[in-house]
Amino acid sequence: MQAKTAVVLGAQWGDEGKGKIVDVLSGRFSVVARYAGGHNAGHTVIIDSKKFILQLVPCGVLRPGCRAVIGNGVVLDPMAFLKEVEHLKELGVDVAGQLFVSDRAHVILPYHRMIELASENAPGRVKIGTTSRGIGPAYEDKMKRSGLRVIDLLNSSLLRTHIQNACHEKNTIARALFSSDPIDPNMMYEEYARAAERIAPFVADTSRMLNDALRAGQSIMFEGAQGTLLDIDHGTYPFVTSSSATAGGAATGTGVGPTKIGTVIGVTKAYVTRVGEGPFPTEIHDGQGELLRARGQEYGAVTGRSRRCGWLDLPLLRYSSQINGTEWLVVTKLDVLDTLQEIPVCTAYKINGKITDTIPADVRGLEAIEPILTTLKGWNRATDNIRTFDELPDAAKKYLKFLEAESGAKIGMISTGPDRDQTISLPEFAATLERMSASGN
């Protein structure tokens, strides 16, 4: 019997509209668990024209009765978390007894931000385009086994010792390498000891909680952050994030075994965007890129940074489906293409004169890609009010069927706008979700 779980993740470079999709699907699940990333991963959800911007908190918190879990694979900024919780309360969301934080998640502290900001701006460094929120350095400390976990944050004696020792080390490094001003460990301790008291009610052994939920027949959605091509192992390295954004991260980032993963749902835009630096084979450099940016409101939910826009990249999507084991695709922002007479799609690459559909591992190979484009006919008709696949213009159906045939996954859902109801769910996908949520949700 297939496990009643689904991983929902970005199939491109992030910003695919996962927030809305997780929100739409969360009505079918008992728990939504975030498994990677930090507060650099913004999800925007619009409900009855009311906008919710979530950074750390899983979208399930917006569904009464659905538990929201921040897993051990996430790095938690205590101040950002508390600010987000207060904002949700102001918007009428009751988080008490519904929101939980893993006791094993690692903590972002001020010296992580100091180190990242100084490092990113250091002379001679290749800029990655980070948000300078301390996420990378927090994962570095985790991997070198010198990090602070949420459970440690609640131990005042351990917290004081950790901050004293870490500040001595980080201040020395920052002063020597970047001439940064030092951080006062005593002030930091007082601030974070107070924050720990407010975070304590949310802390739990979330691995136990999730596995208990599965044993009770309940359903779980694992919510990804960023996107597949930003994964630390499988992305366009070094222009990647610091965590496992692919489906495998759902197991390591929550403490639920891989045999408990039922299906993988990849979210892809009908085109492609990317924030920050790094290779982007199908990037558009003319007015059509500006048109997509304007129609798609392509600006970061957390940072406000404008996103680079490009045509749909099918080799990239096939690679994403391969490493995630993607069964279903959700195609978002179809409506952004409504005014185009013709729509180019990348079907293969040319690298040094050779045709391939394989993504190179090295940056130089990625930068040498010449996209081979196939032009499909546009539909030149509004789709934002359409609610069934059959009602879509014929050219839009052909575009979606072409995407499906070339991607290696089945299209299960189509989004034609930011609101919950601007969503088309195909029958087979809806039936799959119905089986997951039956008895026990």
Q: What is the pLDDT of residue 53?
A: 81
pTM of the predicted structure, to 2 decimals = 0.92
Spot the catalytic one: 39, 43, 106, 112: 43
pLDDT at 303: 65
pLDDT above 80 for 249: yes
> 32: closest CA among 210, 230, 298?
210
149-208: pLDDT as tens digits: 999 999 999 999 999 999 988 888 777 766 677 889 999 999 999 999 999 999 999 999
Residue 43 known to be catalytic: yes
Q: Residue 208: what pLDDT?
A: 98
Check whether 7 has a pLDDT greater than 90. Answer: yes
- Average pLDDT of the chain, as a whole number: 91
Q: Of 227, 322, 341, 242, which Cα lies nearest the Cα of 280?
A: 227
For 256, residues 6+ apart whose C-beta sits below 8 A from its C-beta are 5, 33, 207, 210, 211, 214, 220, 222, 250
The β-bridge relationship of strands 75-76 and 106-107 is: parallel
| Residue 17 clears pLDDT 80, i.e. is over it | yes
Q: Is the pLDDT of residue 441 over 60?
A: no
Q: For residues 248 and 323, give the distance between their C-alpha atoms in angstroms, rounded to a whole number.
A: 9
Mean pLDDT value of segment 33-39: 94
pLDDT at 100: 98
